[in-house]
Amino acid sequence: MPEIKIDRSLSYIEGTQRVYDEATTLENTKNQIKKIGVTRIADITNLDRLGVPIFSSIRPSAAPGAISIYSGKGSTEQRARISAIMESFERCLAERPGLNANIAGDISAPALVESYLNARENYVTLDPGSLLLSQPYNPSSLLEWVGAYDLLNKEEVFVSANAVYHPYDSPGQCQKLFLSNTNGLASGNVLEEAILHGLLEVIERDAISTAQFTRDLGKEIVLTEEDGYLYEISRKFKDSGIDLKIWLVPTDTGIPTIIAATDDVKLKDPALLVMGAGSHLKPEIAVARAITEAAQSRVVQIQGAREDTDREGFIRSVGYDRMKRLNWFWFEEGEKISLSEVQDFSKRSPAENIGVILEKLKGLTEKVLVVNLSREEVAVPVVRVIIPGFELFTIDRDRKGKRLAAGKKKEIPRNKNDKPWKRR
C-alpha cells in the first residue's frame, strides 16, 4: 500500500490532546453518520444511578456476525456522544467490502490470495504465527492478505486479512486463523489521530492482558481534590455506594495504562463486578478513559442490548461471592501513589506522540503495522493497528504469546480453614 505519511504540521489545541474542538468534531460527523447506517444516537446515562455520561449508537445494517449497538463514554455528555459516534465509524469501516451494506467502496490497500510459503517469495509478509494463534496453521494453505504499512521499518507488509477485517470469514478455500476482533481498530478527526488511538488500544490490551493473567495490577492510584474533574467522577462512584479501585498497570512499554475495577457493594450484583481500562501518554487521559469505561461497562450490563454481552446470565449463576473471590486481585490493597507521580510523556502534536510510542516499541516488536480502512465516500479516517506479538488474552483467552508467558503469576490466597483435599 502507499506509504503512510504522518503530517507533522498538525498540532493540538492549546491545553488539549485534540486536533479539533468537540463542537467541530460533532459538526464534521453530523452528515457522515447517515452514510454508515446509524439510525439513532441515544443518551443511556440514566439507566444507571451513577450519572457518568454514556451514549449508545444504533446501526441496524451491521454485517452478520457484527454487533449493531455501540457504546460511548466520557466525562461530559458531548464527549460520550462523540465516543459512541466514532465507534460506529470504526465498526462500519472494519467490515470487508462486499459484506458492508452501507459502503460500496474498497480500501486503498492491495490484496492477494496466496499461501504463506509462496507469498513470502515475492512480498514482505508477516508470518501468521506471530499473531498468537491458538492452533498451528498450514503454511501451504491459501490465505487472504491485505497490504499494511510498517511504521517502524517504513515498508509495505502483507498481513493476514483475518487480522484486519471484522467480522471475518475466509473466502473460498482460504484458511481462517482465529476469531476476528476489534483490537487496534480506531478512528479520528484525522488519520494521525486514528493511528495514535489504534496504537494506544493495542498497547492497552497487551498490558491489561498480562496484568489479568499474572494477577498483578501494579500500584493503586489515589485521586485527591487536586485531580479536579477526575476526582469528581470518582466521587460519583463513592456517593453511589460503588467501590472503585484505580490501578497503574506494570508494562515494559512505560506508557501509562490504567485499570479501573468496580464493585457495587450496595446491590452485590456479580454482573456489575466490571472494569474499564485506558492507555495514553498523558496519565490524566488514561485514568479518565478507564473510569468512564468502567461506568460504560455497568450501563451496558444493565441495558443488556448489545449482542456481545452474553456474560450476564452466566455470571449471575456463578454468584456475587464466588465472582468476588475469583477476581480478588482487582480489589486487594496495593501500594498507593498519586496521579502526579505518574510520568507524562505526551507532546503537542499527534506526530510527536506517535514518535514517542514508536521509540518505546523498539526492541519489543519488529513491526508496527497500520492498515488504512478509510473510504473515499466517508470523511472519517479509520485504521487497524497490528503490533505482532502483543497480547490480547483479555479479549481472546485462547491466544497467548511469549510476553504473557514471561510474567510470574501471583498465587491465589487460600482460606486457612480450606481443606486441601477438598480443593478442585
Which range has the worst mean pLDDT, 105-109, 268-272, 310-314, 409-413?
310-314
| Region label for 15, one of left (φ > 0), alpha (ψ between -120 and 50) or beta (otherwise) | left
pLDDT at 408: 75
* Per-residue pLDDT at 113: 97
Tens digit of each residue's pLDDT (9 = 90 or more) over 157-189: 999 999 999 999 999 899 999 999 999 999 999
Which residues make Cβ contacts (< 8 Å) with residue 224, sequence separation at least 6?
Answer: 231, 338
3-state helix, strand, coil in the chain (%, to 5): 35, 15, 45
**Architecture of domain 197-341 in CATH?**
2-Layer Sandwich (3.30)
What's the whole-model pTM score? 0.94
pLDDT in tens, 199-241: 999 999 999 999 999 999 999 999 999 999 999 999 999 999 9
The single-letter DSSP state of residue 13 is: P
pLDDT digits (tens, 9 = 90+) for 82-96: 999 999 999 999 999
- Would you say residue 309 has pLDDT above 70? no
Domain residue limits, the chain: 22-104, 107-180+365-378+386-398, 197-341
* Confidence class for position 3, pLDDT limits 50, 70, 90: confident
User: pLDDT-based confidence at 414, cuts 50/70/90?
Assistant: low
Kindly state the DSSP code that residue 46 receives in the 8-state scheme: G
Instruction: Identify the band that residue 406 occupies on the pLDDT scale cut at 50, 70 and 90.
Output: confident
Task: In whole angstroms, give the CA distance from residue 407 to residue 391.
Answer: 12
The residues with which 69 forms a beta bridge, in sequence order, are 58
* pLDDT tens sequence across 256-272: 999 999 999 999 999 99
Three-point CA angle 89, 74, 206, nearest 5°: 70
Strands 336-337, 219-221: pairing is parallel
Q: Residue 413: its pLDDT value, please?
A: 66
Classify domain 22-104 by CATH number: 3.30.160
Is 22-104's fold the same as 197-341's?
A: yes
For 300, the 3-state DSSP assignment is: helix
| Band of residue 417 on the pLDDT scale cut at 50, 70, 90 | very low
What is the DSSP code string of 339-376? GGGSPP---SSHHHHHHHHHHHHBTTBS--EEEE---T
